[in-house]
Amino acid sequence: MLKYVLRKLVALIPKLLAISLILFVMMDLLPGDPLTRAMNPDTYGQLTEELKEQYREAMGLNKPLPVRYLNWLGNILKGDFGWSTSTKQNIGNMLAGRFPYTVELSLMSVVIGSFLGILFGYIASIFKNTIIDYGLTLCSVIGVSVPNFFFGIVFLLAFAVKLKWLPTGGRMEVGGATDFFHRFKFMILPIMTQSIGLIAALMRYTRSTMLDVLNRDYIKTARSKGLREATVNFKHGFRNAMIPVMTIVCMRIPMIVGGSVVVESVFNYPGTGQMSLTALTAGDIPVVMVTTMVSAAFTLAASTIVDIVTAMLDPRIRME
């Protein structure tokens, strides 16, 4: 198993290098002075043309593309992401201030969405072909079919504007407490919006997997031994049905992070998704490139976790 994990981790390196090369070439093909992406825009505005050329030469911006790529990659590895052309701030500082907010929101959405999706799917399978099953199935179809931003707008109008139970957006009160319990009310609507697709998908998949497991021979054997129905359903059915379901949970993590762009925009949540969209609107290419690179790295890492979890649950994959 250790060799399999190491092989998967090593395989991340060429993938990340390929993504970084594509992003750098795309950034290099864009019009404009690359010096503006490498230094503080305020400082850039005070330079004469002669000094600008000296800086380009000193930073290696006049060198061939492969050399410039290696220099840029070296800066990225050192944590130097460049400067934003719209906010005139260091991108590394911007990312450090926003990325934890996105991770917090995404993790909460995955945990709550996974729990509710698996719970509702389990209930639907136990009460198969009843009004409960039909109602939950209808909700799951709607959750899968309707885009997240629609639910976000509906939740915003209903719970924030009309009922005034929850704040309309942001992450915390201005000048108020910053602890988790005071911030959580700002996260409720974004979490509901972001997790609804995961809940719907897991509900359908858990129901289908549970019904398949409950028809297996060992379940019939357990029932013939006189075990309680609740024991059969949970101990013998649910535990075995969770093996493929947990793989689906891991596979949905990158989609949750990617969907944060829409959710953060709807609720004005100050994460990397909103930062990326604001930068795209302002034409701030350096910020867009860095956030895209971070998102791609996170997606690759989640994909690797899926492979490792799948291999842990199914040893035949490691043998292959």
SS3 assignment, position 83: strand
Give the model's confidence band at 66: pLDDT under 50 very low, under 70 low, under 90 confident, else very high: confident
Query: pTM to 2 decimals?
Result: 0.76
Q: Is 90 helix (H, G, I), strand (E, B) or coil?
A: strand
Question: For residue 164, which amino acid is it?
Answer: K
Token code pair at residue 104: 């917090």
Instruction: Give exposure, 185-202, as e/b (b: 16+ Cβ within 10 Å).
Output: ebbbbbbbbbbbbbbbbb
- pLDDT per residue over 32-44, tens digit each? 666 666 666 677 7
Q: What is the mean pLDDT of the chain?
A: 80
- In angstroms, the Cα distances linking 155 to 8, 92, 161, 167, 190 are 41, 33, 9, 11, 9
Res 178 pLDDT > 70? no
Q: How confident is the model at residue 318 (pLDDT cuts 50, 70, 90)?
A: low
The pLDDT score that the predictor gives to residue 89 is: 82
Q: Where are the domains of the chain?
A: 91-319
The token duo for 13 is 């390196």
Mean pLDDT lowest among 89-103, 109-123, 212-226: 212-226
pLDDT beyond 80 at 128: yes
Would you tell me how many other CB atoms lie within 10 Å of the CB of residue 256? 20
Superfamily, domain 91-319: MetI-like (1.10.3720.10)
Specify the pLDDT at position 134.
92
Q: 198 near 111, Cβ under 8 Å?
A: no
% of the chain residues with pLDDT over 70 = 87
Torsion (CA) 59, 63, 67, 68 in degrees, nearest 10: 50
pLDDT at 116: 93
Q: In the prediction, which pLDDT does 80 show?
A: 79
194-208, 220-234, 279-293, 302-316: which has the minimum mean pLDDT? Answer: 302-316
